[in-house]
């Protein structure tokens, strides 16, 4: 149980274009989903917290107009990187948690974004 998927696993896009990453909880309903970014050999940096049906809460320093988050259902959250630039190249990971286990977060496999 508690499986989280992400799509795509890898994406290469040109500078100035937008990219959408999907995060799905496959066997449970996720009350909250989180989006992280990981730089090479660094820890996970929380970007935003997403609750179904409401606006995402962004961490300090994260541009909400650049990283658009939509949590339209209890099983799907999307992160759209708008007008991507090479410095947005990174490993993006989502996680989800559900009511029965309010503390544990279950992570997706991650998406490697490369902006050329």
Partner 1 sequence: DQQVKQNSPSLSVQEGRISILNCDYTNSMFDYFLWYKKYPAEGPTFLISISSIKDKNEDGRFTVFLNKSAKHLSLHIVPSQPGDSAVYFCAASAGAAGNKLTFGGGTRVLVKP
Selected from 21, 25, 30, 32, the binder of partner 1 by CB under 8 A is: 32
Nearer to partner 1, 16 or 104 (CB): 104
Position 43 contacts partner 1 (CB under 8 A): yes
Dihedral-angle region of residue 34 (phi above 0 means left; psi in -120 to 50 means alpha; beta otherwise): beta
Which span sits near partner 1 by CB under 8 A: 14-22, 65-73, 75-83, 105-113? 105-113
* 3-state SS assignment for residue 110: coil
* 3-state SS assignment for residue 87: helix
CB 10 → partner 1: shortest distance, Å?
A: 9
Position 27 contacts partner 1 (CB under 8 A): no
Distance separating the N- and C-terminal Cα atoms of the chain: 37
Position 67 contacts partner 1 (CB under 8 A): no
Position 95 contacts partner 1 (CB under 8 A): yes
Nearer to partner 1, 63 or 104 (CB): 104
Picking from 77, 97, 93, 80, the residue whose alpha carbon sits closest to that of residue 31 is 97
Q: Are the beta carbons of 36 and 69 closer than 8 angstroms?
A: no
């Amino acid at each position: 149980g508690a499986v989280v998927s992400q799509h795509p696993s890898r994406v290469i896009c040109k500078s100035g274009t937008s990219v959408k990453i999907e995060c799905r909880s496959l066997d449970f309903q996720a009350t909250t989903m989180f989006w992280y970014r990981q730089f090479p050999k660094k820890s996970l940096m929380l970007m935003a917290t997403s609750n179904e049906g409401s606006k995402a809460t962004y961490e300090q320093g994260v541009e909400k107009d650049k990283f658009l988050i939509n949590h339209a259902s209890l099983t799907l959250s999307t992160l759209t990187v708008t007008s991507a630039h090479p410095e947005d190249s990174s490993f993006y990971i989502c996680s989800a948690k559900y009511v029965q286990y309010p503390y544990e977060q279950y992570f997706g496999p991650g998406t490697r974004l490369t902006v050329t």
